[in-house]
Amino acid sequence: MKIAFIGGGNMAAALISGLAGKLTAGANIHVVDPNPAALEKLSAQFGVTTSGALPGAQQAPDPAAYQTVASADVIVLAVKPQSMREVAEQLRPLLPAAGGEGGGPLLLSIAAGIRAADLSRWLGGGRAIVRCMPNTPALIGMGVTGLAASAGVSAEQKAAADAIMKAVGATVWLDDEAKIDAVTAVSGSGPAYVFYFIEAMQKAAEELGLSAEQGKALALATFTGAAQLAAQSDEPVSLLRERVTSKGGTTYAALTSMAADGVAEAIGRAMAAAAARGREMGVEFGAAD
């Protein structure tokens, strides 16, 4: 499988780390990105081929990019949402004719917000597009990706999208593209919430007299252990929480304090804000002319 990545930033690097040498040889992966240092790193680490710009970009196009991108089975669009239109319009003349279901390359967009219909229009129409929302634990093969296929994606192409994302973790298919905004709020942005919570626990551990190292070791092992316990248990998470909470004890004191501060409601509001921002970006960066 020949895969071209347009954009070689954080999320692309996380995906490539799971794919190269596993699902396909590094040499079958091509990365287009304007940053030479990022390309050198990806090439040295994973043996991918690289180029600096698509034809039509402000930089001089690399002829190698034309060939490689034009012949890719799968093109992963991994640029920021605000760059997607420009990139799609640069890509458009490189792509073979769309030609009905399963025709032309499969386009995997990992951008938050950008709607498949907008992307398809920028790419000339009739494209096989799967919207994906991965997350950065893909870097260690522990990602989770929500996927939604638009009309025109063949069963084979769906299987290819699933295989690519399964190379870096679990996959969850959605029947409706609009649900990608919810996935973004839960698992796409989710690692940042977990890191935020860990950082807060580390800080509090130090305030309680532990060293930074001790706080980090305790907080990380607690997160890993609790998440694994919940994943391996058949019981609801609420029951696992209750088992930690001895009557009148320390956990009860902590959870009562969190409830008084409205932590659960604050998490709900934060995730609603993430989903709303996804919808807003779809309009902001995808509005029709």
Ligand X SMILES: NC(=O)C1=CN([C@@H]2O[C@H](COP(=O)(O)OP(=O)(O)OC[C@H]3O[C@@H](n4cnc5c(N)ncnc54)[C@H](OP(=O)(O)O)[C@@H]3O)[C@@H](O)[C@H]2O)C=CC1
Binding residues for NADP(+): 6-11, 78-81
Q: Which residue is nearest to ligand X (CB)?
A: 9
Q: Residue 11: enclosing H or E segment and its boundaries?
A: helix 10-19
The footprint of ligand X (CB under 6 A) covers 6-12, 32-35, 38, 54, 57, 78-81, 83, 87, 110-112, 133-136, 188
How far is 244 from 236, CA to CA, in rounded Å?
13
Among ligand A1CAB, ligand X, none, the one that 35 touches (CB under a kind-dependent 5 to 8 A) is ligand X
Among ligand A1CAB, ligand X, none, the one that 134 touches (CB under a kind-dependent 5 to 8 A) is ligand X
Residues 103-132 that bind ligand A1CAB (CB under 6 A): 112
Rg (CA), the chain: 22
Q: What residues are paired with 106 via a beta bridge?
A: 74, 128
Least spacing, CB of residue 9 vs ligand A1CAB, in Å: 11
What gap in Å lies between CA 5 and CA 276, rounded to an integer? 27
Residue nearer to ligand A1CAB on the CB measure, 74 or 112:
112
The neighbour count for residue 24, using CB atoms within 10 Å, is: 18
Q: Name the residue whose CB lies closest to ligand A1CAB.
A: 188
Closest CA to 119 of 58, 44, 180: 180
Q: Determine if 184 is a binding residue for ligand A1CAB (CB under 6 A).
A: yes
Q: Which DSSP letter does residue 187 get?
A: I
Residues that bind ligand A1CAB (CB under 6 A): 112, 184, 188-189
